[in-house]
Amino acid sequence: MTLPEGPGWERRAVQRSTGQMQLRSADRAQRVVAAVRDLASERGSTEFTMVEVAEASGVPLRTLYRQFPGRDELLLALLEDEARLGVSLLDAALAAAVDPVTRLVSFVLGIWEFMERGSGYASVLVREHLRLAEEYPDETKACLEPFVDCMVELVEEAGATLGRRPESGTDVRAEAFVMFSVLLAHMQAIRLFRPELDGRDAADGVWGFFCAMSGVTGTVPPPDRSPESGKVTA
């Protein structure tokens, strides 16, 4: 039997089912992750139970546990799904920019925009990703790879070396994962400890921090925010 194509979390969930049940498992898994997204967004936390997820998704509790053995597996699935979606949304902004630094600005501040104006689950994932990385390092790295791969490409296009000496032999991807996690933590810290900052000042701070961390230099300023929409604009 050929398993349905899809993200890694979906394949793992389907593989936990057997026989003909695999034909229905992908649809159920998608409903479960959608329910987790709604619960995390509504509550702004992971304070939900497997019973609540089963009820919200319409999936029997026994089936839910077979596909997702615990709450962490649910969060990993949501993290991977959101990373794939986030990168696809950023692609349009990146395609519209030609200058390498402008493209990098669009990437960094696009992530900031997701956190600042996104649903409650965005902050949940930022808070949870380091804990998940400690307990599920391989799975968490796989979830974050779309963002990290994009960041490495953009930083190198901008002529920077991720803060390292070119001859140092540093593992670029390993350093990129560290940098991306630090960037997320910095964004979350701004939201928690500097809520008085207006949108432009906060965006300037995020971009300045990334430049200091990555070694990127350039004269292209961070995008302005439109007073009418409150959105980041090029």
Residue 184 belongs to domain with CATH number: 1.10.357
- Residue 220, C-beta contacts closer than 8 angstroms, at least 6 positions apart: 99, 101, 102, 105
Let me know: does 51 contact 70? Beta carbons within 8 Å: no
218 within a domain of the structure (yes/no): yes
> Is the model's pLDDT at 12 over the cut of 70?
no
45 in the same domain as 94: no
Q: What is the mean pLDDT of residues 144-150?
A: 90
Let me know: does 136 contact 130? Beta carbons within 8 Å: no
Distances (CA, A) of 128 to 46, 118, 188, 191, 218: 9, 16, 12, 16, 33
> Is the model's pLDDT at 60 over the cut of 90?
yes
Lowest model confidence (mean pLDDT) among 1-15, 63-77, 194-208:
1-15
Average pLDDT, the chain: 78
> Is the model's pLDDT at 50 over the cut of 90?
yes
227 within a domain of the structure (yes/no): yes
Q: What per-residue string of b and e applies to 7-31 under the rule 16 or more CB within 10 Å gives b? A: bebbebbbebbeeeebeebbebbbe
Confidence (pLDDT) at 31: 92
φ and ψ of 100, to 5 deg: -60, -40
Q: Which residue has the tokens 């519209």?
A: 96
Lowest model confidence (mean pLDDT) among 14-28, 61-75, 208-222:
14-28
What domain range is 64 assigned to?
8-69
Among 22, 39, 69, identify where a domain stops.
69
Phi-psi region of 15 (alpha: psi -120 to 50; beta: other; left: phi over 0): alpha
127 within a domain of the structure (yes/no): yes
Length of the chain: 234
Lowest model confidence (mean pLDDT) among 16-25, 104-113, 117-126, 203-212:
16-25
125 in the same domain as 38: no
Backbone CA torsion sign across 143, 185, 94, 86: positive
Better pLDDT: 150 or 22: 150
Lowest model confidence (mean pLDDT) among 31-45, 57-71, 119-133, 189-203:
119-133
31 in the same domain as 93: no
Q: Give the chain's domain count.
A: 2
Of all residues in the chain, the percent with pLDDT exceeding 90 is: 20
169 in the same domain as 111: yes
Token pair belonging to 218: 């350039």
26 within a domain of the structure (yes/no): yes
162 in the same domain as 51: no
